[in-house]
Amino acid sequence: MKTHKHQIVIIGGGTGGIMVAAQLLKARKGLDIAMIEPSGTHVYQPAWTLVGAGLMKKSATLKNEKRFIPKKVSWIKEYVENIDPDSMEVTLRSGDKVAYEYLIVAPGIQINLDGIEGLKEAYGKNGVCSNYVDPDYTWEVIRNFKDGVALFTMPAGPIKCPGAPQKIMYLAADYFIRKGLDKAHVAFATPGTVIFGTEPFRSELKNYLHKYNVSRRYGYKLYKIDGEAKEAYYTRLPLPENKTDYVINDERNAAGCIAFVWEEGQKHVVEEENCHIDELQENTHFVIKYDMLHLAPPQSAPSWFQNTKLANQEGVNKGWMAVDENTLQSRLYKNVFGVGDVTDLPTARTGAAIRKQAPTIVDNLLKVMDGKDADYKGYDGYSSCPLVVAHNRMLLAEFKYEGVRSSDPLLSKFLDTGKASYAMWLMKRYGLPFLYWNVMLKGYKF
Ligand SMILES: Cc1cc2nc3c(=O)[nH]c(=O)nc-3n(C[C@H](O)[C@H](O)[C@H](O)COP(=O)(O)OP(=O)(O)OC[C@H]3O[C@@H](n4cnc5c(N)ncnc54)[C@H](O)[C@@H]3O)c2cc1C
């Protein structure tokens, strides 16, 4: 067993880890930084939406990690298995330890295929796909879809890029139209109660839901998949007082849906054609029969991280890293900061959010190293979601804490970011990947 020692240790060399490392080295020369990252490949995940719709090759989203870990950073190509913030030590899978003075935690999010009954068995065959796991298989499923119900669904609980499950739905619907599949019925089922929280993006998305005749199911919580029977099982959550519709269809009903109640262990079908059954009692369950199913699996902080003292021990944020909402300092240990998907920040987990988190961490970490307080409250919850709604249209939803719109003033001078446009599509397809690889990962701020 070896013990390495470094002044600053960064766990994870994904979007957050690399951006913080690169910006730190630009801000101060001579820092001794180690990065613990097991993978030799860096993934540009935002483009997986396009890969899943056949609009980009997966190979274009993967690059050699070595190109992005700054040369002055020591790369430890290993998995972290524990953090002891009291002894300021990280334990690796090999059993080696890495001692630190300051720690940045950025190991991302964990995809839990076992978080829904039957998902693990169903995934990857019979039309059950996910851009969160393998966008190439999503494209295979979409490309081979002939007609019937194409169901897109969200899990309960936080996930990375919560807009991604609906982006692939718009792209699939657009593809079905272009291919002349007029019998395709597209459905979207979500435990949420709105398609998007912030205006004017919500209204613009509704235009596309209408255009594609998407049947929406709100308050629908997926709990089981029967991959062989091609059935997705839902319970319905209580809707807020001002909402009455669990199901919103446009001109025609889209997905076939069966509702049933359990009585003495028996399943009784109560209605077969649609799900306008608001008067049914609480123990009613709903089955949507699908021909293809795209889902976002449930997600959490990595299991090993949840067992560390840096994670919230209870409450709704249990397991996520406890950080200050504005400074990104650990709420429990002053020499530790968190960035990206692993944190408990009440905003959408995206790479765009990290773009605004990284400078705040750098500023505050250097302050702590200089014996000062981490008092730069630079992060306001900014996150953004490039909502691709067709193979040549995108709108850019930018917001901060509480879902308040926070569109970039410079960009807004030239473009109406709340309206889907071809110019913004070009930004998604070409501009953002270029900025990611050449600007953000190199430590430049913009
Ligand atoms: C389909 C999809 C679409 C998306 N679309 C967008 C979008 O349009 N816009 C946007 O801004 N964001 C989007 N995102 C989200 C964005 O990619 C993530 O929010 C972002 O990558 C999070 O960065 P991170 O550093 O927290 O985690 P990651 O970038 O995932 O990096 C985590 C790193 O930690 C490493 N790691 C894992 N376990 C360990 C361990 N035990 N020890 C050490 N290292 C470990 C991993 O190998 C990885 O390199 C999308 C994501 C997906 C999946």
Q: What is the pLDDT of residue 252?
A: 46
Which residue numbers are catalytic?
161, 385
pLDDT one-digit tens code per residue, 372-396: 999 999 999 999 999 999 999 999 9
Taking the C-alpha atoms of residue 351 and residue 138, their distance in angstroms, rounded to an integer, is 22
Q: How far is CA 37 from CA 7, 13, 48, 366, 407, in A?
A: 17, 5, 21, 23, 33
> What is the token pair recorded at 361?
């961490």
pLDDT one-digit tens code per residue, 133-181: 999 999 999 999 998 899 999 999 999 999 999 999 999 999 999 999 9
Average pLDDT of span 267-293:
67
In this structure, which residue's CA is closest to atom 38 in ligand 1? Answer: 107
Closest approach atom of ligand 1 to CA 65: 49
- CA angle 5-97-65, nearest 5°? 80
Taking the C-alpha atoms of residue 425 and residue 284, their distance in angstroms, rounded to an integer, is 42
Domains of the chain: 3-109+302-379 (3.50.50.60), 113-295 (3.50.50.60)
> Of 260, 292, 250, nearest to 153 (Cα)?
292
Tokens 């969200």: give the residue.
154
CB-CB neighbours of 244 under 10 Å: 8
Quote the ligand 1 centre to 12 CA distance (angstroms). 9
Taking the C-alpha atoms of residue 96 and residue 1, their distance in angstroms, rounded to an integer, is 5
Taking the C-alpha atoms of residue 435 and residue 74, their distance in angstroms, rounded to an integer, is 25
Is the Cβ atom of 338 under 6 angstroms away from ligand 1?
Answer: no
The one-character DSSP state at 427 is I
Closest approach atom of ligand 1 to CA 135: 1
Quote the ligand 1 centre to 248 CA distance (angstroms). 33
- Express as a percent the part of the chain with pLDDT over 70: 92
pLDDT one-digit tens code per residue, 18-35: 999 999 999 999 999 999
CB-CB neighbours of 47 under 10 Å: 22
With cut-offs at 50, 70 and 90, classify the pLDDT of residue 267.
low
> What is the token pair recorded at 329?
């300092």
Which of 58, 129, 350 best tests ligand 1's pocket when mutated (most atoms within 8 Å of CB)?
A: 350
Is the Cβ atom of 283 under 6 angstroms away from ligand 1?
Answer: no
Q: What is the pLDDT of residue 444?
A: 94
Higher pLDDT, 78 or 282: 78
Q: Which of 422-434 are b and which e, b meaning 16 or more Cβ less than 10 Å from the residue's Cβ?
A: eebbebbbeebbe
Taking the C-alpha atoms of residue 419 and residue 50, their distance in angstroms, rounded to an integer, is 19
pLDDT one-digit tens code per residue, 227-262: 999 999 988 888 887 776 777 765 544 555 666 666
In this structure, which residue's CA is closest to atom 50 in ligand 1? Answer: 46
pLDDT one-digit tens code per residue, 98-122: 999 999 999 999 999 999 999 999 9
Which of 341, 343, 384, 441 best tests ligand 1's pocket when mutated (most atoms within 8 Å of CB)?
A: 341
Residues in the chain: 446
* Whether residue 284 has pLDDT greater than 90: no
Quote the ligand 1 centre to 106 CA distance (angstroms). 9
Q: What is the pLDDT of residue 118?
A: 98
**Average model confidence (pLDDT) for the chain?**
92
Contact 310, 105 (CB under 8 A): yes
